[in-house]
Amino acid sequence: MSKTKVLIIEDEIKMARFIELELKYEDYIVTVSNDGREGLDTFLNGEFDMVLLDLMLPGLNGFEICRRIRKVSNVPVIMLTAKDEVMDKVAGLDIGANDYITKPFAIEELLARMRAVLRRSPSKNQNGTIIKFKDVEMDLESRIVRVKGNVVELTKKEFEVLLYLAQNKNTVLSREQIFNKVWGQEVGETNIVDVYIRYIRTKIDERFSERYIYTARGEGYFIKDEEE
C-alpha cells in the first residue's frame, strides 16, 4: 500500500509541528498549512488521503474549508476543536467532517481516530459505487481507476473490460463473453479482447509491477483476488 498523505491545517505552529512529527514517525506523508485560505488551496492543488482541520484559522475558518472541500471531495476530514467548542463539534459533523477531536489530545487518540476514519472510508466514497480488487479501485460514477492510490487513465472500452473482470473476480471469462459484454452488437473479432487485455496490462500490471489479470490458457482471462 502507498503511504497515506495527510494535510494538516492548523495555525498554532507548535501544535501543527507536534502532529506533523508524530505522523511522520508513523510513516504518514505530511503537509502542513498554518493559514485557512492557503490550506484550502493546498488541498485543492494536491492529492490527500486525509485532512486534519483546525476550526479557528486566519484566512478561512475550518467550517468554511470543510464545506468547500466537500464540494469536490469525500476525503476524510477530522476537525481539531478546542474544549469549549462543543456546539461547533455538532456543526462540524453537520458540514461533512468525519470525526472531531478535542484539544488537547493524546497523540495515540488522534492516531486511533485517523485509523478508524480511514477504515470506514477506505475508498474515499460512501456510495457503494467502488469496485475493488487487490489495491485497485474502480469508481463506477466518476469512472476513475486508482491503482495503489494512483489515478490510471483507461479508455472507455478498457474500463469496461476491466470492470467486467472485476465484477466476476476469480472466475475465468472467455474471449467471447468479454467481447459480447463490452462490444455487444458491434461487429468484430474476439481477438480484439486480447489486444485490450494487453493495453490494460501495460497500464496497470506492468506499470505497477504486479499481476492483476491472469490468463487461463485456452479459456480466457480472470482477476484473482484471494481476499474475497
**Positions that interact with Ca ion (CB under 5 A):** 11, 54, 56
Pair 76, 50: CB distance under 8 Å: yes
CA 92 centroid distance within chain: 22
- Among residues 36 and 220, whose Cβ is nearest to Ca ion? 36
Q: How far is the CB of 35 from Ca ion (least distance, A)?
A: 10
Q: How far is the CB of 68 from Ca ion (least distance, A)?
A: 18
Q: How far is the CB of 103 from Ca ion (least distance, A)?
A: 9
What's the Cα-to-Cα distance from 165 to each of 39, 83, 93, 153, rounded to whole Å? 40, 50, 38, 17
**Cβ-proximal residue to Ca ion, closest one:** 56
- Among residues 17 and 169, whose Cβ is nearest to Ca ion? 17
* Spatial distance between the Cα atoms of 162 and 150, rounded to a whole number of angstroms: 16
Q: How far is the CB of 224 from Ca ion (least distance, A)?
A: 49
* Spatial distance between the Cα atoms of 108 and 62, rounded to a whole number of angstroms: 23
- Among residues 97 and 166, whose Cβ is nearest to Ca ion? 97
Q: How far is the CB of 57 from Ca ion (least distance, A)?
A: 5
Helix (H) or strand (E) holding 119: helix 107-120
C-alpha cell at 52: 486534519
- Among residues 86 and 116, whose Cβ is nearest to Ca ion? 86
Order of strands, edge to edge, in the sheet holding 150-152? 130-133, 136-139, 145-147, 150-152
- Among residues 79 and 138, whose Cβ is nearest to Ca ion? 79
